[in-house]
Amino acid sequence: MSLSLPRENVPPRRRRSFENSGLTPYLYLLPFMLLFLVFVVYPVGYGFWVSLHRWDLLAETRPFVGLEYYRNLFDFSTPQAQFFWNSMRNTGFFTILSVPLLVAVSLGLALLLYRPIFGRSFFRAVFFLPGILTVSVMGILWRWMFDNQIGLVNAVRTDLLGLQPLPFLSSEGLAWIPVVVGTLWWTIGFNMTLYLAALGNISQSLYEAAEIDGATAWPKFRFITWPLLGPVTLFVFVTTVLASFQLFGQTLVITNGGPNRTTQSAIQYITEEAFTNNQFSSAAAMSFMFGLAMLIFTVLQFRIMARDAREGT
């Protein structure tokens, strides 16, 4: 690569004076800051303003109501409060159910795959590929896999195992299975790749030393692999939790929040309140409550991460 520049393109004197004016860095930052203020900073304040007023798309006036919409969220005689906290509980339930599986299974796959084996690249591609599909494709696919009558899962149950078909999509409780299994299939490849990269960075000499001491597979994993994977595990854990909180597409497409709102996620209910019921102020208040819960959780996780990092060194 040539670093010398065509000098005739550079008029030195005028450039110097401008470059020295001290404004240059701010000019570079200007486009980003404009967009950032309009589309990131302003909406946060505007959303809070909306949540404090009775906001109606058609009405002329938007009276100030203070924290009424926040108080309503704790008035459990209203369907809004019931549905909102139900959707929050569902999102939390999904997170608790799926995150340990997503971390453990992706680690398991990575452990199976990081040492050379016949067809290793093929296996890696197979486990990674589902992650590149969009959420609606993944959702439609798994809705069909778990179709009550003739999906593949029930076809295997009836035709191969001689069992009764289960109405996965229309029974409370069971409807989570397609959602979690689909999510697992969809996202495990990303986490597996992170783990594979981390495993590749562990020096082989540590294992050799352990072998000289007579260590078998489990102690080697317990005392070498697992502690050295700590930072990746935390990263995978935090990003997976945050992604699980954002649950929306999977339940929308696979179960449409049903049956009986048992799989309705928080974001799905917030958008229903806004775009179906036209209750923008109420929805804004809900998103602030939900955002606050996410924020608290994130801060807690980062504090735990920081503590672990200190103890680790």
Partner 1 sequence: MAAPARDLPAVATTRDAPPRRGPRDVPRFLLLCLLALLFLAPMYWMITTSIKPETDVISTPTQWFPARPTLENYREVLTSPDGNILRWMWNSFFVATVYTVLHVALCALTAYPLARMRFPGRDAIFWFILGSLMIPGVITLIPSYLMMIRFDWINSFHSLIWPGLAGAFGVFLLRQFFMGLPKELEEAARLDGANSLQVLWHVILPLSIPSLVTLAVFAFMGSWNNFIWPTFVITDLDKLTLPVGVNTFSQRYVTEYGKLMASTAIASIPVLIAYLLAQRYLIAGLSTTGMKE
Give, as ranges, the residues between 140 and 159 that touch partner 1 (CB under 8 A).
Answer: 140-145, 147, 149-150, 152, 155, 158-159
For the chain, helix, strand, coil in percent to 5 are 75, 0, 25
Q: Are 253 and 135 in contact (CB under 8 A)?
A: yes
> Does residue 104 interact with partner 1 by CB under 8 A?
no
Nearer to partner 1, 32 or 77 (CB): 32
Give, as ranges, the residues between 237 and 276 that touch partner 1 (CB under 8 A).
Answer: 239, 245-246, 248-249, 252-253, 266-267, 270-271, 274-275
Smallest distance, Å, CB 184 to partner 1? Answer: 10
Quote the CA–CA distance of 281 and 184 in Å, as a whole number.
35
Question: Which of 207, 205, 241 lies closest to 224 in space, CA to CA?
Answer: 207
The residues near 74 (Cβ < 8 Å, ≥ 6 apart) are: 81
* Binding test (CB under 8 A) with partner 1, winner from 104, 129, 163, 300: 129
Quote the CA–CA distance of 202 and 58 in Å, as a whole number.
62
The token pair at 220 is 């080697």
Nearer to partner 1, 104 or 295 (CB): 295
Give, as ranges, the residues between 66 and 85 that touch partner 1 (CB under 8 A).
Answer: none
The residues near 40 (Cβ < 8 Å, ≥ 6 apart) are: none
Backbone dihedral region for residue 236 (phi beyond 0: left; psi -120 to 50: alpha; all else: beta):
alpha
Smallest distance, Å, CB 137 to partner 1? Answer: 5
> Does residue 41 interact with partner 1 by CB under 8 A?
yes
> Does residue 87 interact with partner 1 by CB under 8 A?
no
> Does residue 162 interact with partner 1 by CB under 8 A?
no
Smallest distance, Å, CB 89 to partner 1? Answer: 16
Interacting span for partner 1 (CB under 8 A) from 4-12, 66-74, 79-87, 218-226:
4-12
Burial bucket for residue 63 (CB in 10 Å: 0-12, 13-18, 19+): exposed
Quote the CA–CA distance of 21 and 51 in Å, as a whole number.
44
> Does residue 65 interact with partner 1 by CB under 8 A?
no
* Binding test (CB under 8 A) with partner 1, winner from 169, 175, 179, 198: 198
Nearer to partner 1, 33 or 96 (CB): 33
